[in-house]
């Protein structure tokens, strides 16, 4: 069973500031992510969900606890090991795409591989099937300014998956997209998860986006408040969506409090 | 509170942005250096000697001041633009906290004024230090020693500096403050990212790039071949083609870089593509700025080369021939020289004879020279010389210098004497000193076998071969004597053919007036009447100073010229050890005061220095000043534009770090970008400069004959090393600043 545990978050805590002015963002969160899982993290604003994701992504150093990726403590990484972890062992998908606008889609996508010493010609071989899957083949030689928002986010997704990372972290990936493009993206992520067994952790406050996940953690005041699992592949998304909405209502105060 | 905030901002900005303050200081130093020119040692000295010329030069200063104001404005504008870009978020917050736009504007203007005051307090002493060093160095370089150096603080220059500086600062800040204060807080708070621009489409870009190269090539060829004539149209065309070519080249450079990048990237990894794209983008976004900076650098290099060339040429060409030329009766001159005190300092004294071709019984023919010229390829200069020779013949206008006089001059200067065989003469022309083309053409004609024919008083026609080589040393201490066609002839020939004193009652008029067409026929200035007005035997001077000094054979030569007329002048050269111990300037000045007490009229080498220095200062000082100013402006604009652009790209570096780029790799990539960015500007500027300087020195700024090439090459190397050092310094500043910014980056700064 251990072999399937990609990520282990053990008693993570994060406090900003010192002394009387300190604020606790996370207080002792623990969970595992299994290989091939599509995990959603939901919570109200300020609940600590982005802090949690940033800790996993090594953008923040947790105050306490451990984060193990394939058994290695990522919070202890420094220098080369840290750079190797970023973009190689984890992929990251941002709400604002974070594409380099002076690079073409092709160059953006293969950038993580280039940074880790793979020659561009070799990187191209990994690029083509992924581009086909995400339906971005025709924009590969375009610059981000020449693409739609949906295309940009799919290019960003391709960049997150190109190095075959152990896990892809997505921070509100549909936040800047219209509903049509959001659906297309989620369909693609979902199919990558199901067909290619890609492991994804997604932070979202959108119940619709969360309904694509196989499991959802609800966070409140820095602790896990609730956990929802999809009932196998048979549960229709509408039903899972209903259940998500119920938990959100239980979080207190309905969507106003969640969003 | 408001005022405290202003003071706090100034302090913070000064700490954060050393480059900005350095730029302001450069502006102050540039203004003061120019405006204090009049009170510098060299100028004060020149003013005493060549007052009128200096006054004319000083009329140029306000014009250059206005030109400098214009360029310094851009310097200051970019410095402030960089500063304001860095603070835009701060301005957004002020507005969000309820500060009125007017108050923000007032705050920025107050900061500017206080900044200016602070810069003036630091800048003026710095400028004083610099101008004093320049003053001392120039004085030392031109051999004046440090005599008479006096600390010069010019109140008018300070007023002009402060006024110009404030004007430029306020104008630049006014434009920027209005722009920033009009922006919405949301726009200010958002870190501005450079709008991505697609490079000009491949074919269009390559066409632009190639047409740029073609235009530049045409400009180069035209510069080297057509500029010799220095017509208005070719000059204008060269400027248009050159500038347009540079702009087109930079416009298409982005596409060229893309091609190079695409061709090579498949075998590359790491940040290769990113670095290439960054450089390409910086070129695409800033192609106009790059072209302007490159042209400014070209102007800077050309101005500095022009200044060095002129300076070296002017000071190098007029080697010190003699220190004084005395005009007076032989008795007076002898009495003066025999004075014991004078004997201790006078090294050589010899009479300098100059005579006209006698046109009573003897005539001459220059056909042999004309024929030699006609064997040479036809050009305007050759035709002019031939025409002048014909006129000389027609008006019997030929000057003669006896060999004895000329050899005495050469010996005194430590140069090899002329050896004339039977029926040989040598050619002398002062014009060769100023026109290398003229000298070269004469050299060729003389090598082609030029000769003259004299019809002697006895009716015999004798042919004289002219020695190869043109002589052009100044034959008196000053007076800018410009003898055009002159022959150095054996003494007996001089005695026979040169005008006898008994015949030349009107010699003053004949001795020289400058022809109006610039064809010099010999000028002895206004004092010509003092010369050789009466006959009388001229014997060697007694008292240890001999006539024709060092000429041991003098007594064996026929008693010829000494009996024919008084010399044009008596040349005196001070003893070398006196000059060495006292310094040239004080030694000459001391002798000058003694001469003033005597009845003799004289010209001194100081007058010559004055004239030389005037040209040196006028041409080289101002052009070097402008060159350095352009150099600083071009580099500072380049640096600031780069830093502004880079600041807008911060997000990219954060993303790269999230994707696994190491800070070290990012620093290396940035270093490559900076070096290539500078190289792109410098490369074109240096290439353009090579052709510009080549064209310049082969056309209107020919180095005068006799200019030591070694000196020119050494100075050119020194200037090049200085230029490279300045560039390396700027590159280091940008690299240091960029590295610091990279090290300060942290992935958690990424905007949500």
Q: What is the pLDDT of residues A158-188, one digit of tens each?
A: 999 888 888 999 988 888 888 888 888 888 8
The answer to whether residue B748 scores a pLDDT higher than 60 is: yes
Residue B611 reports pLDDT greater than 50: yes
Write down the pLDDT at residue B705: 56
Q: Does position A100 have pLDDT exceeding 90, yes or no?
A: no
In which residue are the tokens 């190869």 written?
A: B468
Chain A residues with beta carbon closer than 8 angstroms to that of B266: 119-121, 124
Question: What is the structure's pLDDT at B534?
Answer: 32
Distance CA(B180)–CA(B170), nearest Å, equals 15
Roughly what angle, to the nearest 10 degrees, separates helices B287-317 and B622-647? 160
In the structure, what pLDDT confidence band is assigned to residue B48 with cuts at 50, 70 and 90?
low
Under 8 Å CB-to-CB from A132, ≥6 apart: which residues?
Answer: none
DSSP state letters, A56-98: HTTSS--SEEEEEETTEEGGG--HHHHHHHBTTTEEEE-TT--
CB contacts of B652 in chain A (<8 Å) are 100, 102
* B648 CB within 8 Å of a chain A CB: no
DSSP-derived 3-state class of residue A33: strand
Q: What is the pLDDT of residue B616?
A: 65
- What pLDDT, in 10s, does the model give residues A216-247? 999 888 888 888 888 877 788 788 888 888 88
Domains of chain A, CATH where assigned: 34-59+77-89+165-258 (3.40.50.300)
Tally of CA atoms within 13 A in the half-sphere of B631 that contains its CB? 25
pLDDT at B244 (0 to 100):
92
Q: Which residues contact B340 (CB under 8 A, 6 or more apart)?
A: none
Q: Which of B135, B166, B192 is the last residue of a domain?
A: B192
CA-CA-CA-CA torsion for B558, B562, B564, B566, nearest 10 degrees? 170
The answer to whether residues B563 and B535 touch, using CB atoms and an 8 Å cutoff, is no
Check B266 against A86: CB less than 8 A apart. Answer: no
Tell whether B191 is within 8 A of chain A (Cβ): no
User: CB distance from B274 to chain A under 8 Å?
Assistant: yes
Rounded mean pLDDT of chain A? 85
B626 to each of B26, B242, B619, B622, how far by Cα in Å? Answer: 13, 20, 11, 6
The pLDDT of residue B467 is above 50: yes
> Which whole number is the average pLDDT over B608-624?
68
Residue B145 has pLDDT above 50, yes or no: no
Percent of chain B with pLDDT over 70: 77
CA-based nearest residue to A159, from A199, A126, A118: A126
Question: Residue B179 falls within a domain, yes or no?
Answer: yes
Our CA-based measurement puts residue B668 at a distance from the nearest CA of chain A, in whole angstroms, of 13
A115·B270 Cβ contact <8 A: yes
- For residues A73 and A7, the answer to whether their CB atoms sit within 8 Å is no
Residue B107 covered by a domain:
yes
Q: Encoding tokens for residue B178?
A: 């209005």
- Hey, what are B64's tokens? 């250059």
B45, B144 contact by CB (below 8 A):
yes
d(CA B335, CA B337): 6
Residues 20-49, chain A, touching B (beta carbon < 8 A): none
Tell me: pLDDT of B245 over 90. Answer: yes
Taking the alpha carbons at both ends of chain B, their separation in whole angstroms is: 34
Using CA coordinates, name the residue in chain A closest to B268.
A119
| pLDDT score at B609 | 63
Does the structure show a pLDDT above 90 at A95?
A: no
How many alpha carbons fall within 13 Å on the CB side of residue B334? 12
> For residue B514, with 0-12 CB atoms within 10 Å meaning exposed, 13-18 middle and 19 or more buried, which class applies?
middle
On chain A, the residues whose CB falls within 8 A of the CB of B274 are: 100, 103, 107, 111
Token pair in block for residue B739: 């590295």
Residue B736 lies in a domain: no
Closest among B497, B478, B245 to B363, alpha carbons compared: B497
Query: The tokens of B190 are what?
Result: 């958002």
At B359 the pLDDT is: 57
| Euclidean distance between CA atoms B161 and B30, whole angstroms | 9
Residue A179 contacts B, CB cutoff 8 Å: no
Nearest to B707 by CA among B481, B405, B472: B472
Pairwise CA distance, residues B285 & B254, whole Å: 9
Q: How many CA atoms lie within 13 A of B404 on its CB side?
A: 28
Q: Computed from CA positions of residues A208, A213, A214, A219, in that sequence, does the dihedral angle turn out positive or negative?
A: negative
Does residue A120 belong to the interface with chain B, where contact is any CB pair within 8 Å? yes
Residue range B389-420, pLDDT digits in tens: 888 877 777 888 888 888 888 888 888 888 88
Q: Are B127 and B28 in contact (CB under 8 A)?
A: yes
Answer yes or no: is B134 within a domain: yes
Report the pLDDT value the prediction gives residue A155, as an integer from 0 to 100: 93
Q: Which residues of A touch B661 (CB under 8 A)?
A: 83, 87, 115
Tell me which residues of chain B, numbers 247 to 266, contact chain A at a CB-CB cutoff of 8 Å.
265-266
Average pLDDT over residues B336-344: 81
Q: Please indicate, yes or no, if residue B113 is contained in any of the structural domains.
A: yes
Tell me the chain A residues in contact with residue B750 when contact means C-beta distances shorter than 8 Å.
59, 94, 98
pLDDT digits (tens, 9 = 90+) for B71-102: 788 878 888 888 888 788 888 888 887 778 88
Does any domain span residue B67? Answer: yes
Residue A125, chain B, CB below 8 Å: the answer is: no
- What pLDDT is recorded for position B67? 81
Instruction: Round to whole Å and give the CA distance between A8 and B414.
Output: 95
Residue B432 touches chain A, beta carbons under 8 Å: no
pLDDT confidence of residue B752: 46
Of B599, B633, B659, at which residue does a domain stop? Answer: B599
Q: Give the tens place of pLDDT for each residue, B54-71.
A: 777 777 788 888 888 887
Mean pLDDT for all residues in chain B: 76
Q: Specify the pLDDT at position B313.
A: 61
pLDDT at residue B593, as a whole number: 80
B292 pLDDT exceeds 60? yes
In tens, the pLDDT along B208-235 reads: 889 999 999 998 888 888 776 667 788 8
Interface test with A, best of B191, B278, B660, B664 (most A CBs within 10 A): B660
CA distance B117 to B121: 6
Q: pLDDT band at residue A41, thresholds of 50, 70 and 90?
A: very high
Highest mean pLDDT among B306-310, B332-336, B443-447, B599-603: B443-447
Q: What pLDDT is recorded for position B214?
A: 93
What whole-number distance in Å separates Cα of residue B123 and Cα of residue B33? 11
Of the three residues B168, B192, B216, the one that is the final residue of a domain is B192
Report the range of poorest mean pLDDT among A145-159, B41-55, B509-523, B737-751. B509-523
Q: Give the pLDDT score at B79.
A: 81
Question: Which of A59, A102, A117 is facing B196, going by the closest CB pair?
Answer: A102
Shortest Cα distance from A244 to chain B (angstroms)? Answer: 25
The tokens describing A68, both together, are 């193990």
Backbone angles phi, psi at A179, to 5 degrees: -60, -35
What's the pLDDT tens digit per position in B111-132? 888 888 888 888 888 888 888 8
User: For the segment A102-130, what is each residue's pLDDT rounded down to a tens digit?
Assistant: 888 998 998 888 888 888 788 888 888 88
pLDDT tier, B312 (very low <50, low <70, confident <90, very high otherwise): low
Does position B514 have pLDDT exceeding 80, yes or no? no
**Residue with more model confidence, A4 or A185:** A185
CB contact under 8 A, A119 and B652: no
**Sheet holding B424-428: strands in order across?**
B355-356, B399-402, B486-489, B424-428, B461-471, B451-455, B363-365
For B269, the closest of A86, A92, A119 (CB atoms) is A119
DSSP B43-75: HHHHHHHSHHHHHHHHHHHHHHHHHHHHHHHHH
Q: What is the pLDDT of residue B7?
A: 75
pLDDT at position B146 is: 40
CA distance A62 to A64: 5
Within-domain flag for B645: no
Check if B667 contacts A (Cβ < 8 Å): no
Contact of A195 with chain B, judged by CB distance below 8 Å, is answered with no
Dihedral of alpha carbons B182, B184, B189, B195, sign: negative
- Residue B500 located in a structural domain: yes
Residue B496 scores a pLDDT above 50: yes
CA angle B386, B392, B395 (to 5 degrees): 140
Q: Among A58, A83, A102, select the one facing B661 at the smallest CB separation.
A: A83
Q: Cα-atom radius of gyration of chain B, to the nearest Å?
A: 34
Query: Chain B residues with CB inside 8 Å of A99's CB?
Result: 655
Q: Are A46 and A38 in contact (CB under 8 A)?
A: no
Q: Are B96 and B189 in contact (CB under 8 A)?
A: yes
Determine, for residues B272 and A57 on separate chains, whether the beta-carbon distance falls below 8 Å: no
Nearest-by-CA chain B residue for A118: B269
Which stretches does DSSP call E strand in chain A? Answer: 5-16, 23-34, 38-43, 64-69, 72-73, 90-93, 167-171, 200-203, 215-220, 223-229
Other residues' Cβ atoms within 10 Å of the Cβ of residue B505: 9
Name the domain count of chain B: 2
The confidence score (pLDDT) of residue B220 equals 87
pLDDT of amino acid B232 = 79
Residue span of the structural domain in which B587 resides? 329-599
* Greater model confidence, B138 or A64: A64
Binned at pLDDT 50, 70 and 90, residue B539 comes out as very low
The chain B residue lying nearest A54, using CA atoms, is B748
Please tell me the distance from the alpha carbon of residue B193 to that of residue B644, in angstroms, as a whole number.
10
Identify which of A103, A112, A145 has the shortest CB distance to residue B660: A112
């Amino acid at each position: 069973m251990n072999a399937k545990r990609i990520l282990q978050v053990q008693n993570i805590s994060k406090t900003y500031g010192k002394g009387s002015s300190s604020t606790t963002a996370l207080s002792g969160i623990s969970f595992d992510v299994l290989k091939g899982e599509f995990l959603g993290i939901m919570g109200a604003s300020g609940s600590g969900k982005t802090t949690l994701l940033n800790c996993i992504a090594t953008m923040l150093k947790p105050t306490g606890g451990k984060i193990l990726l394939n058994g290695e403590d990522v919070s202890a990484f420094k220098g080369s090991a840290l750079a190797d972890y970023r973009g190689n062992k984890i992929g990251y998908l941002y709400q604002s795409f974070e594409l380099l606008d002076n690079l073409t889609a092709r160059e953006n996508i293969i950038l993580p591989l280039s940074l880790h010493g793979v020659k561009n010609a070799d990187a191209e071989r990994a690029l083509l099937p992924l581009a086909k899957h995400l339906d971005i083949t025709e924009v590969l030689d375009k610059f981000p300014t020449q693409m739609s928002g949906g295309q940009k986010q799919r290019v960003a997704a391709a960049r997150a998956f190109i190095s075959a990372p152990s896990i892809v972290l997505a921070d509100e990936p549909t936040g800047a997209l219209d509903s049509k493009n959001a659906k297309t993206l989620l369909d693609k992520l979902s199919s990558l998860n199901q067909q290619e067994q890609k492991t994804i952790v997604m932070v979202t406050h959108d119940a619709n986006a969360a309904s694509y996940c196989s499991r959802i953690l609800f966070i409140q005041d820095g602790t896990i408040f609730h956990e929802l699992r999809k009932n196998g592949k048979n549960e229709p998304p509408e039903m899972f969506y209903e259940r998500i909405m119920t938990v959100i209502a239980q979080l207190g105060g309905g969507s106003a409090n969640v969003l | 509170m408001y005022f405290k905030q202003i003071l706090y901002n100034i302090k913070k900005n000064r700490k954060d942005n050393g480059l900005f303050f350095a730029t302001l200081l450069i502006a102050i130093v540039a203004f003061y250096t120019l405006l204090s020119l009049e009170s510098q040692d060299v100028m004060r000295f020149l003013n005493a000697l060549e007052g009128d010329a200096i006054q004319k030069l000083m009329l140029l200063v306000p014009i250059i001041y206005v030109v400098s104001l214009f360029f310094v404005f851009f310097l200051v504008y970019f410095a402030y633009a960089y500063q304001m870009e860095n603070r835009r978020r701060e301005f957004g917050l002020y507005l969000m906290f309820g500060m009125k736009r007017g108050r923000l504007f007032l705050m920025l203007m107050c900061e500017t004024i206080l900044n200016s005051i602070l810069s003036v307090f630091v800048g003026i002493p710095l400028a004083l230090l610099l101008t004093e060093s320049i003053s001392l160095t120039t004085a030392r370089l031109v051999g004046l020693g440090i005599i008479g150096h006096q600390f010069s603080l010019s109140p008018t220059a300070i007023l002009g500096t402060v006024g110009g500086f404030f004007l430029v600062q306020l104008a630049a800040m006014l434009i920027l403050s209005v722009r920033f204060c009009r922006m919405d807080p949301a726009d200010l708070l958002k870190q501005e990212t450079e709008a991505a621009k697609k490079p000009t489409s491949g074919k269009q870009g390559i066409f632009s790039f190639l047409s740029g190269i073609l235009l530049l090539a045409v400009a180069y060829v035209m510069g080297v071949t057509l500029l010799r004539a220095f017509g208005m149209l070719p000059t204008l065309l060269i400027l248009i083609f050159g500038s347009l070519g540079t702009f087109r080249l930079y416009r298409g450079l982005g596409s060229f870089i893309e091609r190079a990048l695409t061709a090579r990237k498949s075998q590359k990894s790491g940040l290769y593509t990113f670095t290439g794209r960054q450089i390409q983008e910086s070129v695409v976004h800033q192609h106009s700025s790059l072209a302007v900076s490159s042209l400014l650098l070209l102007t800077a290099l050309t101005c500095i080369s022009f200044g060095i060339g002129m300076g070296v040429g002017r000071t190098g060409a007029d080697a010190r021939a003699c220190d004084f030329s005395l005009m007076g009766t032989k008795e007076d001159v002898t009495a003066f020289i025999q004075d014991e005190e004078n004997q201790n300092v006078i090294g050589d004294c010899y009479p300098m004879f100059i005579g006209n071709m006698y046109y009573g019984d003897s005539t001459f023919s220059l056909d042999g020279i004309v024929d030699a010229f006609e064997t040479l390829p036809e050009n305007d200069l050759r035709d002019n010389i031939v025409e002048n020779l014909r006129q000389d013949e027609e008006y019997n206008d030929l000057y003669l210098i006896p060999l004895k006089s000329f050899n005495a001059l050469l010996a005194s200067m430590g140069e090899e004497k002329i050896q004339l065989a039977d029926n040989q003469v040598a050619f002398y022309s002062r014009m060769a000193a100023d026109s290398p083309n003229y000298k070269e053409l004469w050299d060729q004609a003389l090598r082609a076998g030029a000769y003259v024919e004299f019809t002697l008083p006895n009716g015999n026609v004798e042919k004289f071969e002219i020695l190869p080589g043109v002589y052009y040393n100044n034959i008196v201490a000053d007076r800018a004597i410009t003898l055009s066609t002159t022959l150095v002839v054996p003494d007996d020939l001089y005695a026979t053919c040169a005008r006898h004193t008994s015949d030349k009652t009107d010699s003053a008029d004949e001795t020289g007036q400058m022809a109006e067409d610039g064809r010099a026929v010999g000028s002895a200035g206004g004092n010509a009447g003092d010369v050789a007005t009466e006959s009388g035997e001229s014997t060697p001077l007694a008292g240890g100073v001999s006539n024709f000094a060092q000429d041991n054979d003098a007594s064996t030569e026929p008693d010829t010229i000494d009996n024919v007329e008084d010399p044009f002048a008596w040349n005196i050269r001070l003893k070398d050890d006196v000059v060495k111990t006292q310094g040239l300037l004080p030694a000459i000045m001391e002798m000058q005061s003694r001469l003033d007490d005597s009845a003799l009229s004289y010209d001194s080498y100081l007058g010559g220095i004055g004239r030389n220095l005037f040209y040196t200062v006028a041409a080289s000082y101002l052009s070097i000043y402008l060159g350095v100013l352009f150099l600083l402006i071009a580099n500072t604009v380049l640096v600031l534009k780069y830093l502004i652009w880079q600041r807008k790209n911060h997000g990219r570096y954060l993303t790269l770090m999230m994707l696994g780029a190491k800070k070290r790799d990012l620093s290396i990539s940035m270093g490559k970008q900076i070096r290539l960015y500078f190289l792109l500007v410098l490369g074109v500027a240096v290439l353009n400069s090579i052709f510009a300087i080549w064209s310049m020195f082969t056309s209107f700024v020919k180095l005068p004959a006799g200019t030591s090439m070694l000196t020119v090459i050494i100075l050119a190397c020194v200037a090049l090393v200085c230029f490279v050092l300045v560039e390396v310094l700027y590159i280091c500043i940008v690299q240091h600043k960029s590295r610091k910014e990279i090290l300060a980056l942290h992935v958690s700064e990424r905007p949500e």
